[in-house]
Structure formats: structure tokens, C-alpha cells
Amino acid sequence: MSVPLVEQQSIGFPGAGRLVLCEEGPRFPTRFAGLGYELSTDYGAPVKGRKARFSAATTGFSTARREVRVHRIPRPGRFVLRVRRLGAARERDAVHRFVLTRPHLAPSAGWVIGIVLSAGVFVASLVFFLLRLAGKDSES
């Protein structure tokens, strides 16, 4: 889910579970510097959250996305996202957004480890195959 950069907004979540708050904007954004974030229920109770331990970043040609906080949504429903120290609206605020996603760091790490291991198996099998070919040529 992608939402605009504003000081306070109400967001509906269809299910409970972990949620990652990401900042998204042009490459090398400075607009997010020094901001604080708070997620609370629609009746004001804060939702527990923590800073992202491994702040994964995704960078494209024109945009960048960085994980900031991880929250555990206790139930489906409406919640309020507040941004502290945002200040007055700026002209380029339209290109800055917040993206709310499910955590994907563990599956991504699993895929990377799987790719590295499968590449190792491929290289080892190629070496053994070439050694076997070289051994047959020397016997003839």
C-alpha cells in the first residue's frame, strides 16, 4: 500500500500481522531526514513498533525505497499514521511517499543463499566433469 507524505492520515488494514513502513522518493532523498513516525489505533492507543534492524533499501533508476520501522498490527481495522517534524508542505512532496508492505527480508535472504549454493553446486559439477574428460583423454 502506498500513501502520500502528510503529517497525519488514517489507513485501513485488512488483516493483522507484521507490517514494514518504508520511505519512498527520488534517489538520495533528503525530505525524510529527521522525521519521526507513530502508528496508533483510531482511538489513540499506540501500536508497538521498532526500527528496522536491517534497513533494506531498494533503488531503481529514479526512485529509492528504504525500510524504516516494523509494526505488529494487532487486528484488522483503521489506524492513524503520524509524522513528527514534517514541517510545512513543500513543492516536491508529491514525489515522496510512504509504502506499507509485509516483511520480505527473510525470504529474500533465503533466495540469495539458495542461488549461491546452487551456483556452487554447478561450478563443482562442471569442474568434476572437465576433470573426468581430461582423465579420459590422457588414457587414450
Q: Clarify whether residues 33 and 99 are in a common domain.
A: yes
pLDDT at position 115 is: 97
Structural domain boundaries enclosing 10 = 2-103
- Is residue 72 predicted with pLDDT exceeding 70? yes
Q: Clarify whether residues 127 and 113 are in a common domain.
A: yes
Model's pTM, two decimal places? 0.72
Q: Clarify whether residues 88 and 45 are in a common domain.
A: yes
Q: Clarify whether residues 98 and 117 are in a common domain.
A: no
Structure confidence by residue, pLDDT tens digits, 22-44: 999 998 878 888 898 999 998 88
Number of separate domains in the chain: 2
pLDDT at position 94 is: 85
Q: Clarify whether residues 74 and 11 are in a common domain.
A: yes
pLDDT at position 137 is: 67
**Confidence class for position 103, pLDDT limits 50, 70, 90:** confident
> What length does the chain have?
140
Closest by Cα among 10, 106, 24 to 66: 24
C-alpha to C-alpha distances, 42 to 3, 75, 90, nearest whole angstrom:
17, 12, 27
DSSP 102-133: ---HHHHHHHHHHHHHHHHHHHHHHHHHHHHH
Q: How far apart are CA 6 and CA 92, in angstroms?
A: 12
Q: Clarify whether residues 65 and 113 are in a common domain.
A: no
Q: Clarify whether residues 15 and 71 are in a common domain.
A: yes
Residue 32 dihedral angles phi and psi, to the nearest 5°: -85, -5
Mean pLDDT calculated for residue range 44-60: 85
Q: How far apart are CA 95 and CA 28, in angstroms?
A: 13
